[in-house]
Amino acid sequence: MAIEIEKPTVGLSKVAVSDTHGEDSPYFAGWKAYDEDPYDELCNPSGVIQMGLAENQVSFDLLEQYLEKHSEATNWGNRTSGFRDNALFQDYHGLQTFRKAMACFMEQIRGGRAKFNPNRVVITAGATAANELLTFILADPGDALLIPTPYYPGFDRDLRWRTGVKIVPVHCDSSNNFEITPQALEAAYNEAESMNIKVRGVLITNPSNPLGATIKRSTLEEILEFVTSKNIHLVSDEIYSGSTFSGEEFVSVAEVLEAQNYKDSERVHIVYSLSKDLGLPGFRVGTIYSYNDKVVTTARRMSSFTLISSQTQQLLASMLLDETFTANYIKTNRERLKKRYQMIIDGLRNSGIECLKGNAGLFCWMNLSPLLEEPTKESELILWKSMLHEVKLNISPGSSCHCSDPGWFRVCFANMSEQTLQVALTRIHDFMDRRKAMKTSN
């Protein structure tokens, strides 16, 4: 029998073949299960309900109403050169009006407690790109960023894959509501040093994903002190800043800087996007706001790889500069999210399940640790699988967020109708009843 000589296949890079994209983790496995059997109220009422996607669908009507009423926002402009100029505009500075609009919107979200300069706004196609870009700029391959756990699973891919940068977790746990402590920061820093890894910065998400809670002012001040003492950077991903349930509780790092007259601010960078607050992830609108001139210049040039479509910039600029609209949107969106949050918390409590006290975001941080056979990651995954296949809910296990306490799950509530949420809550209630019945019968 002839032996086939295998032709050498043309090679690909390590980036191409690595699995740092993380698409084999449970976080994404649940999505696959949902894709195969998606819930539909009419056509597939027993399908999997997607509670693993942090998308905001509660306020689309406000956007639609605005666009209907303001057709001038959706036109190329009355000037004959409106379309032409826009179609040719590929300047990585971004449209001046759009940057102004983003700066104004960010100010409004913070109740005017911090000022944003449009010239420090760098545009990127989504916060995903913004976070990766900042990582390229602030760290060299082999360096590390410290990130408090639990954190958004996407960071493992977005911050590490192409950049070659590492993540060293800052461990937070349920003993103090997962708050970030200076001791935990110090411990993580030392751990990195002991492995000869250079720490370049701390990345926080505020309000936090997956906790659904804002970071206290005092904690922010401690974090700022820490990064200043180590002479490293602070990236504050404030993508959920407009999704707080009340206007007062959220404190942005920008406010802390303003209070201290912007001393030592050159190490601070804020990431923002319209994907969560405005429910427009498809538009791919992200920004980096940096207090460091060199970072702004560099980020701007690097943003060539990830610019926002000029059409989209134009479309959003007039909408976001309309302060009547934005004030109303922010207020209404907050109220609706708060209502949803209350609904899910009450529903879960009725089933005997507690959550971390939250005040922001599109999800709640649910504590199912009492249900675990053993307080281990493996038990958590077994529980997660039964939630997925038995209860038909795709929720995100805490282990995929690197949570050190097993048994916690992130449950999204804003990407569905109230009816669907009710169905999900009923399923959970029944599931808990069944477990109680099983226990008593054993």
Partner 1 sequence: MAQCQTESHLAAPAKQNNLKLHEHTNKITTAYFPTTKNPPPPHTSGNPISAFDSPTTHMTRNPDSEPEARKPTRTGMRLIVPLQGIVQGRGGLLLGSLIPCALVYFFQVYLKRHRSSNPQSPSTSAENLPELHRSSSRANLLTRGSIGRVHVSARASSIAKPNDSPYYIGLDRVREDPYDEMNNPNGIIQLGLSENRLSLDLIEEWLSRNLSGSMLAEGGDDLNIRGIATYQPSDGLMELKVAMAGFMTEVMGRTVSFNPSSVVLTSGATSALEILSFCLADQGNAFLVPTPYYPGFDRDMRWRTGVELIPVHCRSCDDFTLSIKALDQAFNQARKRGQKVRGVLISNPSNPVGNLLSRVMLYDLLDFARERNIHIISDEIFAGSTHGNEEFVSMAEILNSEDSDRDRVHIIYGLSKDFSLPGFRVGVIYSFNENVLAASRKLTRFASVSTPTQRLVVSMLSDTQFTQEYMKTNRERIKTMHDLFVEGLRELGIESAKSSACLYCFVDMSRFISPYNEKGELELWDKLLNIAKINVTPGSACHCIEPGWFRCCYTTLNEKEIPLVIERIRKVVETCKLSG
| CA-closest candidate to residue 309, choices 113, 141, 86, 109 | 86
Catalytic residue, candidates 39, 66, 152, 341: 152
Stretch touching partner 1 by CB under 8 A, among 52-60, 202-210, 364-372, 416-424: 52-60
Give the strand pairing for 166-170 and 144-148. parallel
By CB atoms closer than 10 A (0-12, 13-18, 19+), residue 259 is: middle
CB 350 to partner 1: min, Å: 30
User: What's CA 54's distance to the chain center, in Å?
Assistant: 8
Stretch touching partner 1 by CB under 8 A, among 77-85, 173-181, 203-211, 238-246: 77-85
Mask: binding to partner 1, 296-335, rule CB under 8 A, as x and -?
-xx-xxx-xxxxxxxxx-xx--------------------
Query: Is residue 90 part of the contact set for partner 1 (CB under 8 A)?
Result: yes
Q: Which is nearer to partner 1, 308 or 393 (CB)?
A: 308
374-413 residues in contact with partner 1 (CB under 8 A) are none
Q: Which is nearer to partner 1, 91 or 374 (CB)?
A: 91
| CA-closest candidate to residue 124, choices 320, 323, 275 | 275
User: Is 293 among the catalytic positions?
Assistant: no
Q: Is the peptide bond before 182 cis (omega within 30 degrees of 0)?
A: no
Q: Which is nearer to partner 1, 89 or 108 (CB)?
A: 89
Catalytic residue, candidates 100, 166, 276, 392: 276
Rounded Cα distance between 435 and 441, Å, is 10
Q: Which of 32, 198, 434, 436 binds partner 1 (CB under 8 A)?
A: 198
Q: Looking at beta carbons, which pairs linking 341-350 to residues 24 or more positions away fall under 8 Å?
A: 341/212, 341/245, 341/413, 343/413, 343/418, 343/421, 343/425, 344/411, 344/413, 344/421, 344/425, 347/421, 347/422, 347/425, 347/428, 347/429, 348/425, 348/428, 350/429
User: Is 151 among the catalytic positions?
Assistant: no
| Phi and psi angles of residue 366, each rounded to the nearest 5 degrees, phi first | -95, 140
Query: Is residue 87 part of the contact set for partner 1 (CB under 8 A)?
Result: yes
User: Is 237 among the catalytic positions?
Assistant: yes
**Per-residue tokens: 249:** 């509780």
Q: Which is nearer to partner 1, 232 or 432 (CB)?
A: 232
| Phi and psi angles of residue 279, each rounded to the nearest 5 degrees, phi first | 65, 35
User: Is 232 among the catalytic positions?
Assistant: no
Query: Is residue 143 part of the contact set for partner 1 (CB under 8 A)?
Result: yes
By CB atoms closer than 10 A (0-12, 13-18, 19+), residue 9 is: exposed
CB 360 to partner 1: min, Å: 20
Mask: binding to partner 1, 12-51, rule CB under 8 A, as x and -?
xxxxxxx-xx-x----------------------------
147-176 residues in contact with partner 1 (CB under 8 A) are 158, 160-164, 166
Q: Which is nearer to partner 1, 310 or 369 (CB)?
A: 310
Q: What residues are annotated to the active site?
A: 152, 237, 239, 276
